[in-house]
């Protein structure tokens, strides 16, 4: 701790400087933090959207302080689980895409439809977890445009995707934003803080921008990529704008809050709000997405 000492030239100056020195050296204190015992949880990452079957990723959580080998993530994958999704009429038992590896479970009988509620039940060993989610009516974006990161430099080829949205009147609506570059990206990727609600924009027309989310490949180090987080002149970008429910929004918002506070001693601690019951043993969400799609070809000028 740094303390600035001011020695005053008066009768009490000696005492003031002595007190300051005492304060300086008394600021140092060794603190021993006793970490709680780690409790492994089951992690469920599931979704269903209009026109598509349910997909679910299953894994075990891993300790932040531990000897887990992050170059072998398959060691945390869950094999042999039973994952069932129902729309109230049809029951779909999801299949493991690769039974030898586990992790990804995909449905085939239940296809997402607007207005329907989907119930998921996951059985891992003798434990069971369940939740539900509803595909809501989609809300389309009004328009897309490209915003250069340096608005005054027309030679700057990098920037963001901007859009205009006329938000429907009636508070409580929640959204999530994703995008994909045609020919360059494999998946729709969401940038940081991709979920928002209409608390301050209910019934209003407003404009907002997003940067480019990372593709889900932890083995590619993009920290030195000068185009990281940006779109580029010549890109064809498909924006996937999704309406989601309140508990789905709460999951994503607390997920991002937890992520930004990780390792920051000055931030407020935040726990992720799991959508599943028995949250003491399970962390995750099953989100029903109601997407609308829009495409922009970023022009050279």
Q: Write down the pTM of the prediction.
A: 0.83
User: Going by C-beta distance under 8 Å and a sequence separation of 6 or more, which residues neighbour residue 284?
Assistant: 42, 43, 44, 45, 46, 274, 275, 276
Which tokens is 95 given? 């299949």
Which tokens is 227 given? 């185009």
Q: What is the pLDDT of residue 220?
A: 59
Q: For the chain, what's the residue count?
A: 301
Q: What is the pLDDT of residue 63?
A: 79
User: Going by C-beta distance under 8 Å and a sequence separation of 6 or more, which residues neighbour residue 4?
Assistant: none
| CATH topology identical between 42-134 and 143-269+290-297 | yes
Which tokens is 152 given? 């005054």
- Phi/psi of residue 59, each to 5°? -155, 170
Return the top range by mean pLDDT from 1-10, 24-33, 112-121.
Answer: 112-121
48-57 pLDDT, tens digit per residue, is: 999 999 999 9
Q: What is the pLDDT of residue 217?
A: 65
Residue with tokens 């959207």: 49
With contact defined as beta carbons under 8 Å apart, do 83 and 120 qualify?
yes
3-state secondary structure of 46: strand
CA distance 289 to 245: 9
Rounded mean pLDDT, 29-41: 70
For domain 143-269+290-297, give the CATH number: 2.60.40
With contact defined as beta carbons under 8 Å apart, do 178 and 242 qualify?
yes
Domain 42-134 fold is: Immunoglobulin-like (2.60.40)
105-161 pLDDT, tens digit per residue, is: 999 999 999 999 999 999 999 999 999 999 999 999 999 999 999 887 778 899 999
270 pLDDT above the threshold of 50: yes
Q: What is the band of 219 on the pLDDT scale with cuts at 50, 70, 90?
A: low
CA distance 236 to 226: 19
Q: Where are the domains of the chain?
A: 42-134, 143-269+290-297
The DSSP-derived string for 59-83 is EE---SSS---TT-GGGGB--S-EE
């Amino acid at each position: 701790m740094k303390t600035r000492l001011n020695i005053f030239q008066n009768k009490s100056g000696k005492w003031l400087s002595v007190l300051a020195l005492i304060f300086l050296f008394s600021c140092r204190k060794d603190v021993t933090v006793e970490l709680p015992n780690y409790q492994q949880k089951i992690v469920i990452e599931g979704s269903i959207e209009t026109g598509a079957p349910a997909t679910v990723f299953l894994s075990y959580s891993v300790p932040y302080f531990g000897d887990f080998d992050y170059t072998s993530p398959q060691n945390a994958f869950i094999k042999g689980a039973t994952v069932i999704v129902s729309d109230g009429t049809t029951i779909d038992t999801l299949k493991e895409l690769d039974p030898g590896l586990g992790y990804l479970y995909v449905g085939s009988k239940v296809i997402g439809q607007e207005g329907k509620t989907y119930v998921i039940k996951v059985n891992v060993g003798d434990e069971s977890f369940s939740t539900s989610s509803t595909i809501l009516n989609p809300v389309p974006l009004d328009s897309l445009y490209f915003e250069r990161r340096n608005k005054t430099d027309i030679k700057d080829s990098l920037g963001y995707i901007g859009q205009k949205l006329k938000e429907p009147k009636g508070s409580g609506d929640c959204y999530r934003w994703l995008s994909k570059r045609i020919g360059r990206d494999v998946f729709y990727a969401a940038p940081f803080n991709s979920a928002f609600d209409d608390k301050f924009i209910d019934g209003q027309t407003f404009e907002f921008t997003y940067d480019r989310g990372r593709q889900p490949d932890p083995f590619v180090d993009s920290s030195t990529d000068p185009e990281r987080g940006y779109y580029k002149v010549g890109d064809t970008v498909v924006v996937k704008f999704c309406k989601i429910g309140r508990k789905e929004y709460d999951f994503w918002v607390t997920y991002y809050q937890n992520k930004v506070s990780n390792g920051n001693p000055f931030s407020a601690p935040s726990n992720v709000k799991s959508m599943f019951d028995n949250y003491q043993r399970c962390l995750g969400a099953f989100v029903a997405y109601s997407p609308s799609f829009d495409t922009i070809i970023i022009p050279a000028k």
